[in-house]
Amino acid sequence: MDRWQYLLLLAGCLIVTAPLEFLGSGVYRRPRTLGIALLPAAAFIGWDLLAIATNIWHFSPRYLLGVWLPGAIPIEELLFFAVVPVCGLLTFAAVERLLGIVSDMRHGRRDATEGTAK
């Protein structure tokens, strides 16, 4: 079970935030925004590769599946740099939408019982 921990943690993040897309955050329907959110991952992957190569950073095989990519980076680490920004963007978009609904309701632009704009 230990070897699945990193992957299970990433899956948990996705499971918790995925419903936000269905509540109207629209993240997956905006590929440009999604791509921009994932762009910094390239820098962090490079940073990881440098830290691994200089023995500053390492990964315990005990918590990994054992699939290693070039540069001795585990697949879970690469997935981390994709999953975390997506989950963050989903959360941000959902909170932004919720705050918009609350603001509309406070200013009488939305019916609280129907959740639709007037």
How confident is the model over 48-75, as pLDDT tens digits? 999 999 999 999 999 999 999 999 999 9
Instruction: Indicate the SS3 state at residue 54.
Output: coil
Q: How big is the chain by its Cα radius of gyration, in Å?
A: 19
Q: Where are the domains of the chain?
A: 2-112
Hey, what are 9's tokens?
């943690």
Contact in structure between 66 and 3 (CB atoms under 8 Å) = yes
On average, the pLDDT of the chain sits at 87
Tell me how far apart the alpha carbons of residues 56 and 81 are, in angstroms, rounded to a whole number. Answer: 19
DSSP notation for 43-89: HHHHHHHHHHHTTS----GGGS-S-EETTTEEHHHHHHHHHHHHHHH
* Of the candidate ranges 1-10, 84-93, 101-110, the one whose mean pLDDT is the lowest: 101-110
